[in-house]
Amino acid sequence: MTALAERGSAPSTPEPADPHPPGPGWVRPALGGLLIATAVLYLWGLSASGWANAFYSAAAQAGGESWQAWFFGSSDAANAITVDKTPAALWVMGLSVRLFGLSSWSILVPQALMGVGSVWALFATVRRVSGPTAGLLAGAVLALTPVAALMFRFDNPDALLVLLLVLGAYCVVRALEKASPKWLALAGVAVGFGFLAKMLQAFLVLPAFAIAYLVAAPTSLGKRLLQLLGALGAVVVSAGWYLAVVELWPADSRPFIGGSQSNSILELTLGYNGVGRITGDEVGSLGGAQSSGSWARLFGSEMAGGIAWLLPAAAIALGALAWLTWRAPRTDRTRAATILWGGWLVVTGGVFSFMSGIIHPYYTVALAPAVAALVGTGAVRLWRARAHPIASGLLSSGVVLTALTGYLLLTRESTWLPWLKYVVLLLGLAAAVLVLVSDRLPRSGARGVAALALIASLLGSGAYTVATTATPHSGAIPSAGPSSGGFGGQGGPPGGGQRGGMRGGVGSLLTTTTPSAEMTALLQADAENYTWVAATVGSNPAASYQLASGFPVMALGGFNGTDPSPTPAQFQQYVADGRIHYFVGEPAEINSTGGSDAAEEIAEWVAANFTSTTVDGVTVYDLTS
């Protein structure tokens, strides 16, 4: 090692003959402890968030009552309109509702279990290349990432997306071992079903998966290209079958495709949830488009608390692993894993940083597995090579930057544990200094330094994660941390936002309400005689009344209130046929980006032709009188 240091060349570690050797006896107990701790963290007090995102909870309720609503992802059991995503996450929740009944637990427990599964899958993926220590560290980092804890205790599609993408990475790693087309195709299937959870966002990992295999698979270039084409076919089939079914299904016998302007899932895929997210040209959005950003966006006030804690360390690990494997053979699995996780982080992080369309802080959960894998792999490899001055310097720099990042992030929380930032900074600085001399210490002393560095690096994000799990979250746009903020908020009562149902622009469309007992009783009266007990503008207000009453409520205009469903003529026919009992709310202008104004026209027609009453502060029109 001294000679290597003098020559300035990177130390190399030979590849093990067995790609998955049996681990030491402590591995299984340690993994079991990690998974149990993760389950406790994600499941404890889970019901405090109530319906969490009522938009998806209402769709899960609908799927628990109607198989058609389950298949299409309808917002209501009467199948007026779907949510604005493909429904794979709703399939899981809908089945849970059918099995265990409708409750906060039946909706949110599957998300928490997906979190535990993601930690397990990440451990297995990293272990196959870098050993059990790196795998355990990667799993712990993922479990203690605040935005991961947020989304694995919430009912957005991101939990299923992350699990499927990590499983896809595992399949790629398995495929790289023996150039296996079977495992590569399974990776394509995992990404394809990731598309069915959150559409085109799932495809952001494909460049990293493909390049890693193209570079490192132990077979000829021609076979690598053919096998990649086969995997691409698996992606297309596993994602495209659903698009084909929905697009070919007669439009008059299925719900309207929410989020589209032409009742087309292809439009939804390529427009509102596709290219529009990159360019900002999202027809029907509520003015939520963002200006072009930069890499600094990930460290901004909205996103940083969820993901930024170990981003600098992940960047250092990426560079360090590239250095450590620079002269390795083409098929070196550590370098292949570096390409996989590094490409995942760079492509996904770059898109999130520079996209001009709608983006929310919780999207960054998709970065968490890559950050965790790079930190786990890089830390272990650098620790083993710490006798080399460059390796020890990189490892020490990672600890220092993590401590400084934690200090700066905790400084933004002026009233929450104000002493913690100083502890994180001092422990990090001390650990960074000791890392530089750790190769000269006895084994017990070196282990103590490693433990100190680990505690210093995870203390800030860990505490922030615990605070996130201890805070009820509800609404459409949750964010990590101990304090409330953002549309829909973090804290607050399980029902979500304010009482009532007055429509007041963007805020009221993105928040949910807690209907009063009087309002709920009104909706439930004679409910069996109507297809929809009520109609209101926007999916979130409709979800509140539907979950409270237990009966379908029509969401005019879908999530943003800007979809052309139903048309004014269709609505008037529903009213004439006696299929809708009440209209809830008042006419209000929706300032959308080119979306339909059908919902506004319907509200104005109702106000002009029916007499309103007020029920506990909510304007209600009886459409049968």
Tell me: pLDDT of 58 over 90: yes
DSSP letters for 359-401:
--GGGGGGGHHHHHHHHHHHHHHHHHTTTSHHHHHHHHHHHHH
Q: Give me the pLDDT at residue 586, please.
A: 85
Tell me: pLDDT of 110 over 60: yes
Please choose, from the candidates 579, 560, 573, 580, the residue with its C-alpha nearest in 3D space to the C-alpha of residue 258. 560
Q: Give me the pLDDT at residue 493, please.
A: 39
Model confidence pLDDT, tens digit, residues 35-55: 999 999 999 999 999 999 999
Q: Give me the pLDDT at residue 368, please.
A: 98
Residue 414, classified by CB atoms within 10 Å of its CB into exposed (0-12), middle (13-18) or buried (19+), is: exposed
Sheet of strand 618-622, all strands in order from the earlier edge strand to the far edge: 553-556, 532-537, 580-584, 618-622, 612-615
- The distance from CA 601 to its chain's CA centroid, rounded to whole angstroms, is 35
Do 399 and 435 form a contact (C-beta atoms < 8 A)?
Answer: yes
594 pLDDT band, cuts 50/70/90, is confident
Q: Give me the pLDDT at residue 499, please.
A: 37
Please choose, from the candidates 484, 58, 505, 494, the residue with its C-alpha nearest in 3D space to the C-alpha of residue 287. 505
Residue 101, classified by CB atoms within 10 Å of its CB into exposed (0-12), middle (13-18) or buried (19+), is: exposed
Tell me: pLDDT of 277 over 50: yes
The whole-chain average pLDDT of the chain stands at 90
Considering only 183-192, 244-253, 289-298, 614-623, which range has the smallest mean pLDDT? Answer: 289-298
595 pLDDT band, cuts 50/70/90, is confident
Give the burial string for 192-201 (b: 16+ CB within 10 Å, else e).
bbbbbbbbeb
Tell me: pLDDT of 69 over 60: yes
Residues ≥6 apart with Cβ < 8 Å to 290:
280, 355, 356, 357, 358, 359
24 pLDDT band, cuts 50/70/90, is confident
495 pLDDT band, cuts 50/70/90, is very low
Q: Give me the pLDDT at residue 286, please.
A: 66
179 pLDDT band, cuts 50/70/90, is very high
Q: Give me the pLDDT at residue 6, please.
A: 36
- Measured distance CA(158)–CA(296) in Å, rounded: 23
Q: Give me the pLDDT at residue 291, please.
A: 54
Tell me: pLDDT of 84 over 90: yes
Q: Given CA atoms 159, 162, 167, 170 in this order, what sign does their dihedral have?
A: negative
Tell me: pLDDT of 1 over 50: no
Please choose, from the candidates 574, 560, 579, the residue with its C-alpha nearest in 3D space to the C-alpha of residue 605. 574
Q: Give me the pLDDT at residue 502, please.
A: 37
Tell me: pLDDT of 500 over 70: no
Q: Give me the pLDDT at residue 587, please.
A: 81
Helices (H), 438-500: 443-469
Q: What is the mean pLDDT of residues 122-131?
A: 97
Residue 388 one-letter amino acid: H
Q: Is 337 helix (H, G, I), strand (E, B) or coil?
A: helix
